[in-house]
Amino acid sequence: MEEERIKVLSFPSDSPPLSIIAAAKIAGIALPTQTSTSGSLTLSFSNGLELHGNYVILRYIGRVAAIRNFYGDDAFHAAQIDEWLEYAPTLLLGSEFENACSYMDIYMEKRTFFVSHSFSIADIAIWSGLAGAGQRWESLRKSSKYRNLVRWYNSVSAEYSDALNEVTALYVGKKGLGKQVAAKPKEQKSADGNSSDKVNLGSRPSSEIDLPYAELGKVRLRFAPEPSGYLHIGHSKAALLNQYFAQRYQGEVILRFDDTNPTKESNEFVENLIKDVETLGIKYQKITYTSDYFPKLMDMAEKLIKEGKAYVDDTPREQMQKERMNGIESKCRSNSVEENLKLWKEMIAGSERGLQCCLRGKLDMQDPNKSLRDPVYYRCNPVPHHRIGAKYKLYPTYDFACPFVDAEEGITHALRSSEYHDRNAQYYRIQEDMGMRKVHIYEFSRLNMVYTLLSKRKLLWFVQNGKVDGWDDPRFPTVQGIVRRGLKIEALIQFILEQGASKNLNLMEWDKLWTINKKIIDPVCPRHTAVIEERKVLLTLTDGPDEPFVRIIPRHKKYDGAGEKATTFTKRIWIDYADAEYISVNEEVTLMDWGNAIVKEIIKDQDGNITQLVGVLHLQGSVKTTKLKLTWLAETSELVNLSLVEFDYLITKKKLEEGEDFLDALNPCTKKETAAIGDSNIRNLKQGEILQLERKGYFRCDVPFVRPSKPVVLIAIPDGRQQSMLK
């Protein structure tokens, strides 16, 4: 179908599609327009066919326009353009407008256009979204807040001034400044009204969550952690999204260990990463290691040297970094193939001369994207490898190994967090130089949590300096740490999938995750009773049972599966001091799981502290009339000693700014232990079992009962809402 067969573009009078009209003007495509009352956006053709929807029509204009690369010069760039078309509606959301501007300002720091090196319909879509925002954008444009974005916007406005000025004069003015311009197609809104970039994997039909270029039954993904630490909540998002797409497309996931840095890696980390991946329920097809491919990677490096696509460089590291920043070519860049091969052999031997060198790719030292400025492919490292010993004296970088192994293993889609966006071009260029099959990159936003460090280097500092008990410490964001603190994996999966494959940078609250967790554990976890040891108060019921007796009652009143527990009833019972303080003489209170009692006497010491209470049972009293509902324990030798442990964040700032030292934000007090006594049934708890101590919160059994002198250790589980009763 040719563009001259276009009949008319129809749109609602209050929603002219600025991006389509601007694209047609710039491309010189005749586009008759008319307003309609149907409320739909339609491009009609003379043969009776129609296209509907803003970005469907914009893509059509991009394809038929006689402008080079208007819709990308290959499938990958077209897919990148599609991503920006999906992102553009964010500018129509009032609450998200400045967040979007901030994100794009950072993105455009080193770029001239939004995709590759050519003006495209992605630029038109974003430009139209900003122009259509009217006064709101104009105010920001005049400020110095978003310099990179304004530079790009002004450049586009000047380059295509005739067409764009005509369009804005006709349509933006007609709509009124600050009002919505481009119609937002229904198919790009999720159930909650947000743009489709924020996909809710948990609730939306799976058919709506697509992996570009995916074929049913042919998708192969990989989850590739570096074995230099334990899996943390950020890695979990990548792992679970890989599994989601594998299931969605009836494909498979490979678990690959990116073991290219022997200085940081160990078998301990490999073993625990496997454990963590299995804890998450990831069904991987097989385990591989980048080190399995070291011989092939060496051959590929030598091939690139011989083809003039790589060279050996002995420039000192700091000087090399400065040269890359400034686009200065290394003095070694023009070395002959023979000289490079000679130095390459020195590197392989780990000789004194070889240790001074690294292997670099010969890409483009003038590229605005600095990742393409001759990245390092191999570095010498005499440290033995944890799997293969001292066989090698040099190791490939992640940048070199990853695109090779992805292609070699038949990976169809590499899921990477958007923080690596600028390195995507490098990934594809290296694959191209290697002559290997192209692997599609699919981006998602990195998961960041408030008051949380996810850098393995920083987490290692806490371990090495004894600030935590290990990588599974409940204060750590590792999978083992948060599970030990009482998080159910189902809650983590739900939390992560609710965010979907969003490209937006997220700083998430822990409270949301713990709220999801509470909804999972509360309906099923057993109820037990504890009294804080310090200043606990004895309540003597003068008409209570002369001989203790036991009743068997449910551990959870609404869930039979929790089982039963034995509760002892006696004349003398323990209650918390904090409860005793609120009781008045002759007040009727409710003793939970027993009935009402009336406190007749409050005995205090010389300092005014309550030491004892005396009362009588009033079992016929109504629990509805009492103000205080008290937990209590019978005074018996069967009570269990408890240590109730609470944790706080390791740092005191929600988010560390770039360049800010985490050591300056350390929380001086992150652990609190409270001695308590618990009911006799607690001695039957198993390690890992979750329970609720009534009126005190949820806990996970960390150390079960061994002997009376050693307390059972219960770790407090946050519920996303209440402040601890232990404080």
Active-site annotation, residues: 226, 446, 456
Contact 239, 277 (CB under 8 A): yes
Number of CB atoms found within 10 A of residue 183's CB: 22
Q: What does the alpha-carbon distance between residue 397 and residue 619 come to, in Å, rounded to a whole number?
A: 75
Residue 288, SS3 per DSSP:
strand
Contact 256, 224 (CB under 8 A): yes
Residue 619, SS3 per DSSP:
coil
Locus of tokens 């074929």: 215
Number of CB atoms found within 10 A of residue 234's CB: 17
Q: Could you give the angle at which helices 75-87 and 54-64 cross, rounded to 10 degrees?
A: 150
Backbone angles phi, psi at 159, to 5 degrees: -65, -40
Amino acid at 111: R
**DSSP class of residue 309?**
S
Of 62, 70, 51, 49, the residue nearest 20 (C-alpha)? 62
Question: Which is it for the CA torsion 614, 617, 621, 626, positive or negative?
Answer: positive
Tell me the helix, strand and coil percentages in the chain, rounded to 5.
35, 20, 40
Residue 433, SS3 per DSSP:
helix
H helix intervals, 354-443: 398-408, 424-434
Of 209, 208, 238, the residue nearest 221 (C-alpha)? 238
Structure tokens at 214: 């995916």
Strand blocks (E) in 514-636: 527-528, 530-532, 537-541, 549-554, 564-569, 572-575, 588-591, 595-604, 610-617, 629-630, 633-634
H/E stretch holding 22: helix 18-27
Backbone angles phi, psi at 107, to 5 degrees: -60, -35
Q: What does the alpha-carbon distance between residue 79 and residue 367 come to, in Å, rounded to a whole number?
A: 22
Locus of tokens 């599966």: 561
